[in-house]
DNA sequence: TTTGTAATTGAAAACGATTTTCATTTAGAA
DNA sequence: TTCTAAATGAAAATCGTTTTCAATTACAAA
């Protein structure tokens, strides 16, 4: 099979199938200059492929992220947890295992901000830095757990 | 009224009232070392104050953020938009007006990561940098709109 | 202390996004 | 062409959040 697209190849490697819906969804996010929500993608996709279901859009997006063809953008809306405010400008270091969080104030993004403003023309007015890792407690537990396994 | 807490003072300044529910919720997030979802806060709060409603938890959290007593943490789960993957390690600059997004690869967080690892003992394995601002298009539109107003 | 009023509340319903279920269809290897 | 695991769409279920509304409450002013 000559001229297979990277997407076709990637799917075959994972024993997944290329379907019309998947192709349409990939085309849409490939051509977009904007991040799109599942609902927006669904609306656009139906113009090209009316019987497509919203369920399939969700499933396809998960697949595209899993295979590395799409990425998620995190926005300010919804999906929050809350933490007491201790500093005016806090970023977070969150434990991916237990959810414990440390706040930190250091963030030297000024150089980055200036670079990107001149490259893109954006007027940048806010930033968010979130670090993820394992807290000391969870590291200890994990080590103990692994030792027990042997 | 002597010995007013900062919370009491802050509420009075905004003509808001101090209620049992609000105090209980603030106490919970003050004592937590972990970020908590509204549902988690609700569960804990009901132990101390059984008739509290979940609605009030949501409203109180909004209030606490508005007055600066709490802050939101952004997590990996839910609330996503999607973008085509063009680089292995992409961060985003998102226009807060139209949603257009630029991807960038520069992120010199190594120094920050090392500093925080030694300070907190965390093993940091991932990070997310999201910048927000206005794209050139939206800046132009906004300027035209403001000029028309005068 | 009492009163008046705007702020706050809880319960229920509405809502929007996402996931699950399940019977049917389909891509693609054999 | 056949066969089977993968994928699908429709409907229902689920989850988190917001809205509505009538009843209650905090607290400033009398």
CB A79 within 8 A of CB B75: yes
Mutate to test the interface with B, among A5, A27, A43, A74 (most CBs of B within 10 A): A74
Q: Considering only alpha carbons, which residue of chain A is nearest residue B34?
A: A100
Give average pLDDT by consecutive 10-residue segment, chain B, 150 residues.
Answer: 80 95 92 81 94 94 88 58 52 66 71 85 80 81 76
Q: What string of DSSP letters covers A107-148? A: ---HHHHHHHHHHH--EEEEEEEEEEEE-HHHHHHHHHHHHH
Q: What is the pLDDT of residue B119?
A: 85
Residues 3-42 in A having a C-beta less than 7 A from any atom of strand D are: 11, 15-17, 19, 21-22
SS3 per residue for B6-43? HHHHHHHHCCCCCCHHHHHHHHHHHHCCECECHHHHHH
Say how far A2 CA is from C24 C1', in Å: 32
Residue A56 has pLDDT above 90, yes or no: yes
Tell me whether residues B73 and A94 touch, CB distance under 8 A: yes
Q: What percent of chain A has pLDDT over 90?
A: 27
Q: What percent of chain A has pLDDT over 70?
A: 74
- To the nearest 10 degrees (0 to 180), the angle between helices B54-67 and B38-48 is 110
Which DSSP helix (H) or strand (E) runs through A77? none
Say how far A33 CA is from C20 C1', in Å: 33
Q: What is the pLDDT of residue A87?
A: 42
Nearest CB among A90, A100, A115 relative to B33 is that of A100
Contacts 24+ apart (CB under 8 A), B17-23: B20/B49, B21/B45, B21/B49, B21/B52, B21/B56, B21/B57, B21/B60, B22/B60, B22/B63
Tell me whether residues A84 and B70 touch, CB distance under 8 A: yes
Residue A59 has pLDDT above 80, yes or no: yes
The span from the CA of B74 to the CA of A94, in Å, is 10
Mean pLDDT, rounded, of chain A: 79
The DSSP call for residue A14 is: T
Residue A79 has pLDDT above 70, yes or no: no
Instruction: Report the nucleotide nearest the CA of residue A16, measured to C1'.
Output: D6
Query: How near does any CA of chain A get to the CA of B83, in Å?
Result: 5
- What chain B holds in terms of domains, given with CATH numbers, is 6-67 (1.10.10.10), 91-135 (3.30.1490.190)
Which DSSP helix (H) or strand (E) runs through A5? none
The span from the CA of A24 to the CA of A124, in Å, is 33
The span from the CA of A132 to the CA of B127, in Å, is 6
Q: Which residues contact B38 (CB under 8 A, 6 or more apart)?
A: A80, A82, B54, B57, B58, B61
Residue A74 has pLDDT above 70, yes or no: no
Say how far B45 CA is from C3 C1', in Å: 33
């Amino acid at each position: 099979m000559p001229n297979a697209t990277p997407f076709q190849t990637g799917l075959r490697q994972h024993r997944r199938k290329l379907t019309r819906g998947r192709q349409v969804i990939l085309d849409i996010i490939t051509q977009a200059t904007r991040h799109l929500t599942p609902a927006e993608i669904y609306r656009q996709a139906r113009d090209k492929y009316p019987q497509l279901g919203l369920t399939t859009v969700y499933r396809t997006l998960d697949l595209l992220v899993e295979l590395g063809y799409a990425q998620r953008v995190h926005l300010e809306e919804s999906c929050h947890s809350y933490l007491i405010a201790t500093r005016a400008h806090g970023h977070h270091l969150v434990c991916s295992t237990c959810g414990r969080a440390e706040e930190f104030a250091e963030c030297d993004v000024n150089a980055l901000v200036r670079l990107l403003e001149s490259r893109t023309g954006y007027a940048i007015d806010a930033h968010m830095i979130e670090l993820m890792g394992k807290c000391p407690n969870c590291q200890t537990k994990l080590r103990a757990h692994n030792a027990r396994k042997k």
